[in-house]
Amino acid sequence: MQEKRIVVCIAHPDDEVFCSGTLLRLADAGNELTVVVGTQGEKGSHDPMLTAESIAAARRQEMDMSAHRLGVKEVVQLGYRDGELQYAEDLKETLFRLVRSIRPDVVLTFDPWKRYEIHSDHREIGFAMIEAAHLGANCWYYNGQITDDIKCHRSQELYLFHCDEPNYYVDITDVFERKLYAASAHASQFGPDVDEVRLRSIMNQMNPDVQMTIEPFRKMWHSNLYL
From 208, 181, 185, 186, select the one nearest 197 (Cα to Cα): 208
157 is a site residue for Zn ion (CB under 5 A): no
Shortest distance (Å) from residue 224 CB to Zn ion: 27
Q: In angstroms, give the least distance from the CB of 104 to Zn ion.
A: 21
106-110/5-10 β-pairing: parallel
What minimum distance in Å lies between the beta carbon of 12 and Zn ion? 4
Taking Cα atoms as reference points, which of 55, 61, 106, 51 lies closest to residue 225? Answer: 106
CA distance 146 to 142: 8
Q: Which residue is nearest to Zn ion (CB)?
A: 12
Q: Is residue 15 within the footprint of Zn ion (CB under 5 A)? A: yes
- Among 7, 8, 12, 92, the residue binding Zn ion under the rule CB under 5 A is 12
Q: Taking CA 61 as the corner, what is the angle to CA 121 and CA 215, rounded to the nearest 5 degrees? A: 55
CB of 191 to Zn ion, least distance (A): 17
Given the complex with Zn ion, which of 23 and 152 has the nearer CB atom?
Answer: 23
**160 secondary structure, DSSP code:** E
Instruction: Output the smallest distance, CB 39 to Zn ion, in A.
Output: 8
Q: Kindly state the smallest distance separating residue 75's Cβ from Zn ion, in Å.
A: 15
Q: Which is nearer to Zn ion, 59 or 92 (CB)?
A: 59
Nearer to Zn ion, 12 or 59 (CB): 12
Count of residues near Zn ion by CB under 5 A: 3
Q: Which residues contact 86 (CB under 8 A, 6 or more apart)?
A: 124
Closer CB to Zn ion, 41 or 216, in the complex: 41
Question: Applying CB under 5 A, which part among 5-13, 166-174, 181-189, 199-207 lies near Zn ion?
Answer: 5-13
At a CB cut-off of 8 Å and minimum separation 6, what does 227 contact?
A: 1, 22, 25, 26, 29, 170, 171
Angle (deg, nearest 10), helices 120-135 and 89-102? 50
Phi, psi angles (nearest 5°) of residue 19:
-140, 20
- Region 68-87 residues binding Zn ion, contact defined as CB under 5 A: none
**Closer CB to Zn ion, residue 16 or residue 32?**
16
Q: Which is nearer to Zn ion, 17 or 158 (CB)?
A: 17
Q: Which residues of the chain form contacts with Zn ion (CB under 5 A)?
A: 11-12, 15
